[in-house]
Chain A
């Protein structure tokens, strides 16, 4: 167990391609950090630099009190769980779990105790003598986690461990990972492209885009105060509606509609406005904005109506029983609006509110 300190870390591949730049991240002991972002955002590269599988081009990574830039992966006191499990196919489950410990010359009795404990914890005791190929995907992933647990490492690194599982199993394994991490109290870094996985697992979320940190914060902070249009569009399902609008004094013009802001306007001129689908509500005719419905997605508990406000696409979330007509009128509480700079996409704080409960890091860029 240890804190991990990542400072000014960057990765430049041969040929000058910059995959990751200037990452600063302080991970506290026992914290569950999720790195989330679209594919190619550098999240896996960052994780692999912490693991020691990629050389660190610039900056330093500290695990505990030790700078590990030049330390072999095996000596960094970390354990990693891979997307495709990476179990040794020719070894039984027990041998898979034992392998790392044997290489460390752990005494036999200690190995047995740890393997049995991990197997019991993960409920794989009855499979210990099977080969990985005789196991289902979920069971293999448990074995992969077992291999990490028996090591009793300072940190767990997860590289999209649930991406190969079916949707239902993913949800239950997600719960298990969270429970296990709580119980063991081991510092964890978890990489995923699935924002839902990120939201449910993380103590703190790190949203990455183009090799840089867009925002760091607790899941709810990130959800309620996205630092940029990128984060706004990435976190939350359905994605936040981002529409072009213009601030005219205390009024907001979205297409032909004017919304009164009650003093929330942060600036003036062209902005990008973020509206959460679930914050939009239907009002009676001729109040608010006209919304032309194009199609409806049924989710059972919710109905998502996709349509247009002016000429911009907007999605609204309605309750399962709500009536949907071809044209509806929608409105939003001004305090629920998110404003972003039209050029840079950075968040603009609305004047009347002081929402920043968590430190929003200096936007990098």
Chain B
């Protein structure tokens, strides 16, 4: 049997430090005052300004309209993240279900057409998408923020591969048990895909949460500001000799990190269970 040696731990410790230190530095720095940070730079020690900074970030109304708070930005980001994740999962599951289980003409072709769109990054189609949304009058709305990005080649691909690995007999047993296409999908396919759904949810939530370019184009109304845009706007206020609120930017960055981390932690056990249990 392989015995764990000290050097193994050393590698892991170095790796952990490498990944965690910036986060710790960001968090510790956010507890200092802006002036402190401006003078002394980043900090690894506790600054004692934790409650003040975070309270201010979460509740103080800011922006040009003086309407948005950190909390409303967090909520916007959550709506975007969850909306993306749920919408993409629903859409790509249905698409994959159609491709795998219904022998419509050119099913394989349409799959590959969807698949090749993976090669096109969002940025390529961002202008046409913007124009469509603008003509539909959906700028500055959650619908406009979420819907155009819902079609997901990645999700469709993953679900297609998963559905293909589901034994044919399960479908046949369900057919004999009197389950039609809709019932089979809801009663059998969705429950056995739950680990896959968890995995895609993590990926898509983080993707939506981190969107920057698309919300910036789609929304001009500050009510729709997400955290990502909030961080940027804090650092933009170079007015005269005013020191940018570094502490608030760091605090927002730390806040922005929490939900994705929480999602990963919550779904992790499911995710690993899905990888190690081989029952289908």
Question: What is A's interface to B at a CB cutoff of 8 Å?
Answer: 51-53, 72-75, 78-80, 82-84, 86-91, 99-100, 103-104, 131-133, 147
A82 to B279, CA, bound (A): 16
Which A residues touch B191, using CB under 8 A?
90-91
Write out the residue numbers on chain A whose beta carbons fall within 8 Å of the beta carbon of B280: 89
**B173, A86: Cβ atoms closer than 8 Å:** yes
Judging by beta carbons under 8 Å apart, are A86 and B175 in contact? Answer: no
What are 27 A-B interface contacts by the 8 Å CB criterion?
A: A52-B176, A53-B172, A53-B176, A72-B175, A73-B175, A74-B176, A74-B178, A80-B173, A83-B169, A86-B167, A86-B170, A86-B173, A88-B170, A88-B187, A89-B279, A90-B188, A90-B192, A99-B174, A99-B179, A99-B187, A100-B176, A100-B178, A103-B177, A103-B179, A103-B183, A147-B173, A147-B177
List, in ascending order, chain A residues with CB within 8 A of B177's CB.
74, 99-100, 103, 147
Which B residues are in CB contact (< 8 Å) with A91? 191
| With known contacts A82-B169, A133-B277, A133-B279, A74–B175 Cβ distance under 8 A | yes
Chain B contacts with A in 191-243, Cβ cutoff 8 A: 191-192, 194
Instruction: For the complex formed, measure the closest distance between the CB of B162 and the CB atoms of chain A, giving whole angstroms.
Output: 13
Residues in A whose Cβ lies below 8 Å from that of B172: 51, 53, 73, 80, 82, 86
**Does B173 lie within 8 Å of A82, measured CB to CB?**
yes
Across the two chains, which residue of chain B brings its CB closest to A90? B191
CA distance A72 to B173 in the complex (A): 13
Structural contact, B183 and A86, CB atoms closer than 8 A: no
Given contacts A82-B169, A84-B167, A133-B279, are A89 and B175 in contact (CB under 8 A)?
no
The closest CB in chain A to the CB of B183 belongs to A103
Contact A73–B176 (Cβ < 8 Å): yes
Q: What residues of chain B lie closer than 8 Å to A89, measured between beta carbons?
A: 192, 279-280
Cα–Cα, bound, A58→B130 (Å): 56
Q: Using C-beta atoms within 8 Å of the partner chain, give the interface range for chain B.
A: 20 to 34
Q: Contacts of A88 on B, CB cut-off 8 Å?
A: 170, 173-174, 187-188, 192
Which residue of chain A has the shortest Cβ distance to B278 in the bound complex?
Answer: A133
- Which of these, A78, A84, A100, A133, contacts B169 with CB under 8 Å? A84
For A76, give the chain B residue with the smallest CB separation.
B176
Q: Is A53 a contact of B175 with CB atoms below 8 Å?
A: yes
Contacts of B178 in A (CB 8 A): 74-75, 100, 103-104
* 12 other A-B residue contacts (CB within 8 Å) besides A51-B176, A83-B169: A53-B176, A73-B175, A74-B177, A74-B178, A80-B172, A82-B169, A84-B167, A88-B187, A90-B194, A99-B187, A103-B178, A104-B178
Distance (Å) between the CB of A156 and the closest chain B CB?
11
Taken together as a complex, chains A and B put the C-alpha atoms of A86 and B188 apart, in Å, by 12
Q: Specify the chain B residue showing the minimal Cβ separation from A103.
A: B178
**Cβ-closest chain A residue relative to B193:** A90
Q: Indicate which residue in B176, B194, B277 contacts A78 across the interface (CB closer than 8 Å).
A: B176
Are the CB atoms of A79 and B176 closer together than 8 Å?
yes
Cα A91 to Cα B187 in complex, Å, equals: 10
B188 to A, closest residue via Cβ: A88
The answer on a CB contact under 8 Å between B277 and A80 is: no
Q: Please, what's the 1-or-0 string for B260-280, where 1 marks a CB less than 8 Å from any CB in chain A?
A: 000000000000000001011
Cross-chain contact A132 with B279 (CB below 8 angstroms): yes
Residue on B nearest A51 in the bound complex, by CB? B176
Nearest B residue to A48, CB-CB = B172
- Measured between beta carbons, the chain B residues less than 8 angstroms from A104 are 178
Look across to chain A and name the residue whose beta carbon is closest to the beta carbon of B172.
Answer: A53
Across the two chains, which residue of chain A brings its CB closest to B173? A86
Residue of A with least CB distance to B190: A90
**Inside 8 A of B174's CB, which chain A residues have their CB?**
88, 99
What residues of A have a CB within 8 angstroms of the CB of B192 in the complex? 88-90
**In the complex, how many angstroms separate the beta carbon of A269 from the nearest chain B beta carbon?**
50
- Chain B residues whose C-beta falls within 8 Å of the C-beta of A78 in the assembled complex: 176
Select from chain B the residue with minimum beta-carbon distance to A81.
B173
CB neighbours (8 Å) of B194 from chain A are: 90
Least distance between A136 CB and chain B CB atoms (Å): 14
In the complex, A65→B264 CA distance in Å? 59
Docked pose: A365 CA to B6 CA in angstroms? 75
Shortest Cβ gap from A164 to chain B (Å): 12
Closest 7 CB pairs of A and B: A100-B177, A74-B178, A86-B169, A103-B178, A86-B173, A90-B191, A89-B279
* Nearest CB of chain B from residue A200's CB, rounded to whole Å: 25
Shortest B277–chain A CB gap in Å is: 7
Chain B residues with CB under 8 Å of A75's CB are: 178
> Given the complex, which residues of A lie within 8 Å of B179, measured CB to CB?
74, 99, 103
Task: Give the distance to chain A from B273, nearest Cβ to Cβ, in Å.
Answer: 12
